[in-house]
């Protein structure tokens, strides 16, 4: 079954067929490294990681490029304000960005080109646009002439009938009501200090939008399979990328545009300018597990808005623990619980059915526009059913193996590092066994107070002990 994604360009769900069968060229807009990324940014980056992981899970060979915007209005403004060079300002933030990616379990893209390493490619593209009658120069600034590009507005669905001829905008970011010719290259002025490049276009620096067009083309070619970013990238950034790239080559730039919805705070988009943001570090300092943040940001369908609350984060932490505990329980019971009554085979096999159902539903949900909420629901249902069956001693050892294999398989897509928490996390199984042996001895000696004390001690460590007709069982609290 073909994968389907909603294409922001056509505003419909479309089958996904890459240009070259089996290979995907994916470009995602990366951070502007003027400050630490906030968790709203990471919602988009985690979604893109899900997209990338899912494509790989479906056996596509993915070449993923994420740019680093290390020169634009904001990086220049902030490095100048701090009295340091552009590089001195951006380098530590790039390092911090990669640390955050690792903490959140975001896989590395194949390439992270930096804008400042691609100035010649940008200059060449601007010259090509000028040759094609789509760019013009005023006082050393170069602008894209949107009236000469009839497709302008097709992504953001703009009505250009009211367009004021000759209106220009020099800033990198602007709202829809100021649709106008936008800057490709900005001539040096004294606010730029020593941040400029001497090029065939004169002394200056690139506009933000040309950076992505040039880097995408350099690393992935003229037409790519998929391009994504957050919803706010649609206009003006991606609209302008289309104009520049298609204006330069005359070819289609991107086949599938896929955009992620906002992370909100009290119903408003989380953003630096509104001040309603949390950096990843701010949340980690409060003691939260980064993978719980990942699960939270991942678990709502990517196109829907998601309201961030610490209550929600606590819920995600609980859900993550539940998956970790389930996996540990499977691992442990697979090796320690004797077949016992199960070998009789009565009523057995139900767990296998639940596991296969989860696998089917997981695959189906993701095929249809990456419906992660549905895919996760299938996993939690499997966890619930198999846990209950384990309580009743109704799971065959091969089914325990199947369940843990299925869960680890799902985790290739989820990226929750479940394989890293099986061993050594929480209380050591050998320690529990020693305590249980001590408890059995106490019970035999009719020292019930001591037996109960051991049980309470384990409970305080998150280990639940149950006496069943098949003997004493224990598991990690869900
Ligand atoms: P920026 O560094 O501002 O270019 O943003 C980096 C990425 O984060 C872009 O793809 C934005 O669309 C995305 N982004 C910014 N704010 C949010 C938000 N509140 N929710 C989701 N994505 C966001
Ligand atoms: Zn971009």
**3-state SS of 201-270?**
CEEEEECHHHHHHHHHHHHHCCCEEEEEEEHHHHHHHHHHHHHHHHHHHCCCCEEEEEEECCEEECCEEC
Whole-number Å distance between alpha carbons of 229 and 208: 15
Q: Which of 34, 41, 276 to mutate to test the pocket of ligand 1 (most atoms within 8 A of CB)?
A: 41
* Whole-number Cα distances in Å, 326 to 16, 175, 298: 35, 48, 20
Q: Are 36 and 92 in contact (CB under 8 A)?
A: no
Q: How far from chain centre, in Å, is Cα 425?
A: 25
Q: How far is the CA of 2 from the centre of ligand 2 (A)?
A: 27
Q: What is the pLDDT along the chain (478 residues), one digit of tens a residue?
A: 789 999 999 999 999 999 999 999 999 999 999 999 999 999 999 999 999 999 999 999 999 999 999 999 999 999 999 999 999 999 999 999 999 999 999 999 999 999 999 999 999 999 999 999 999 999 999 999 999 999 999 999 998 887 777 789 999 999 888 899 999 999 999 999 999 999 999 999 999 999 999 999 999 999 999 999 999 999 999 999 999 999 999 999 999 999 999 999 999 999 999 999 999 999 999 999 999 999 999 999 999 999 999 999 999 999 999 999 999 999 888 877 655 555 455 567 899 999 999 999 999 999 999 999 999 999 999 999 999 999 999 999 999 999 999 999 999 999 999 988 754 455 666 677 888 989 999 999 999 988 988 888 777 666 778 888 778 887 766 4
Q: Cβ distance 269 to 262 under 8 Å?
A: yes
CB atoms < 10 A from the CB of 187, how many?
Answer: 19
Pick from 232, 271, 277 the residue to mutate for probing ligand 1's pocket: most ligand atoms within 8 Å of its CB.
232
pTM for the model: 0.89
* Bridge partners, residue 138, by sequence: 141
Domain segments of the chain: what residues? 4-260, 316-420, 429-476
Counting ligands in written order, which one lies closest to the CA of residue 259?
1
Q: For residue 238, which ligand has an atom nearest its CA?
A: 2
Mutate which of 26, 40, 45 for ligand 1 pocket (most atoms within 8 A of beta carbon): 40
Report d(CA 129, CA 206) in Å as an integer. Answer: 14
Q: Which atom of ligand 1 is nearest to the CA of 37?
A: 2
Atom of ligand 1 nearest to the CA of 270: 19
Residue 84 CA to ligand 2 centre (angstroms): 25
HSE value, Cβ hemisphere, 13 Å, CA-based, for 272: 11
Q: Which ligand number lies closest to the CA of residue 244? A: 2
Determine the pLDDT at residue 473. 81
How many other CB atoms are there within 10 angstroms of residue 16's CB atom? Answer: 21
Name the residue at shortest CA distance from atom 7 of ligand 1: 41
Starting from the CA of residue 277, give the closest ligand.
Answer: 1
Distance 106 CA to ligand 1 centre (A): 16
Place of tokens 């490029």: 65
Distance 190 CA to ligand 2 centre (A): 27
pLDDT at 432 (0 to 100): 79
Ligand 1 atom 12 nearest Cα: 230
Phi-psi region of 338 (alpha: psi -120 to 50; beta: other; left: phi over 0): beta
**pLDDT score of 155:** 97
CATH architecture assignment, domain 316-420: Up-down Bundle (1.20)
In the reported structure, the alpha carbon of residue 359 is separated from the centroid of ligand 2 by a whole-number distance in angstroms of 35
Instruction: Return the pLDDT at 455.
Output: 86
For residue 107, what pLDDT is reported? 98
Q: Three-class SS of residue 379?
A: helix
Tell me, in angstroms, the distance from the centre of ligand 1 to residue 42's CA: 8
Specify the ligand 1 atom closest to the Cα of 33: 2
In this structure, which ligand is nearest to the CA of 265?
1
- The ligand that comes nearest to the alpha carbon of residue 211 is 2
With residues binned 3-state (H G I as helix, E B as strand, rest as coil), the percentages for the chain, rounded to 5, are 50, 20, 30
Instruction: Output the CA 327–ligand 1 centroid distance in Å.
Output: 34
Residue 354 contacts residue 386 (beta carbons within 8 Å): yes
Give pLDDT, residue 433. Answer: 82
User: 173 CA distance to ligand 2 centroid (A)?
Assistant: 12
The closest alpha carbon to 351, from 374, 382, 320, belongs to: 382
What angle, rounded to 10 degrees, do the helices at 119-131 and 239-249 form?
A: 70
Pocket of ligand 1, candidates 26, 74, 109, 230: which has the most ligand atoms within 8 Å of its Cβ, to mutate?
230
150 CB burial (10 A radius; 0-12, 13-18, 19+): exposed
Pocket (CB within 6 angstroms of ligand 1): 29, 31-32, 40-41, 43-44, 229-230, 232-233, 260, 262-263, 269-271
Q: If one looks up domain 4-260 in CATH, what number appears?
A: 3.40.50.620
């Amino acid at each position: 079954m073909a994968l389907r994604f909603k294409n922001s360009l056509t505003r419909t769900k479309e089958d996904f067929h890459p240009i070259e069968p089996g290979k995907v060229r994916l470009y995602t807009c990366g951070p502007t490294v003027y400050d630490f990324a906030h968790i709203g940014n990471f919602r988009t980056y985690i979604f893109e990681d899900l997209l990338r992981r899912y494509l790989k899970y479906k056996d596509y060979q993915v070449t993923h490029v994420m740019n680093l915007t290390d020169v634009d209005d904001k990086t220049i403004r902030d490095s100048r304000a701090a009295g340091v060079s552009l590089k001195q300002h951006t380098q530590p933030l790039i390092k911090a960005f990669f640390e955050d990616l690792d903490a959140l379990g975001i896989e590395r893209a194949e390439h992270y080109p930096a804008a400042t390493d691609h100035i010649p490619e940008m200059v060449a593209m601007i010259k090509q646009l000028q040759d094609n009658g789509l760019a013009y120069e005023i006082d050393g600034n170069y602008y894209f002439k949107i009236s000469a590009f009839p497709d302008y507005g097709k992504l953001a669905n703009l009505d250009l009938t009211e367009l004021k001829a000759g209106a220009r905008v020099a800033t990198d970011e602007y709202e829809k009501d100021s649709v106008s010719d936008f800057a490709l290259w900005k001539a040096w002025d004294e606010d730029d200090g020593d941040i400029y490049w001497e090029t065939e276009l004169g002394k200056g620096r690139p506009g933000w939008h040309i950076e992505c067009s040039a880097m995408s083309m350099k690393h992935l070619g003229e037409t790519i399979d998929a391009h994504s970013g957050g919803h706010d990238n649609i206009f003006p950034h991606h609209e302008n990328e289309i104009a520049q790239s298609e204006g330069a080559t005359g070819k289609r730039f991107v086949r599938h545009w896929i955009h992620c919805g906002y992370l909100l705070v009290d119903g408003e988009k989380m953003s630096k300018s509104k001040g309603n943001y949390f950096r990843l570090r701010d949340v980690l300092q409060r003691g939260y597990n980064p993978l719980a943040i990942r699960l939270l940001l991942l678990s709502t369908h990517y196109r829907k808005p998601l309201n961030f609350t610490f209550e929600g984060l606590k819920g995600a932490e609980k859900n993550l623990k539940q998956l970790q505990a389930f996996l540990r329980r499977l691992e442990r019971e697979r090796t320690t619980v004797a077949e016992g009554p199960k070998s009789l085979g009565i009523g057995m096999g139900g767990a296998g059915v639940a596991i296969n159902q989860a696998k089917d539903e997981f695959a189906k949900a993701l095929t249809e526009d990456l419906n992660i909420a549905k895919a996760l629901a299938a996993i939690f249902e499997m966890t619930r059913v198999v846990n209950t069956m384990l309580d009743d001693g109704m799971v065959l050892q091969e089914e325990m193996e199947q369940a843990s294999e299925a869960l680890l398989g799902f985790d290739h897509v989820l990226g929750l590092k479940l394989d890293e928490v099986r061993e050594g996390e929480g209380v050591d199984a050998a320690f529990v066994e020693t305590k249980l042996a001590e408890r059995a001895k106490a019970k035999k000696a009719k020292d019930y107070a001591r037996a109960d004390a051991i049980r309470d001690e384990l409970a305080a460590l998150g280990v639940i002990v149950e006496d069943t007709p098949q003997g004493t069982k224990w598991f990690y609290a869900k």
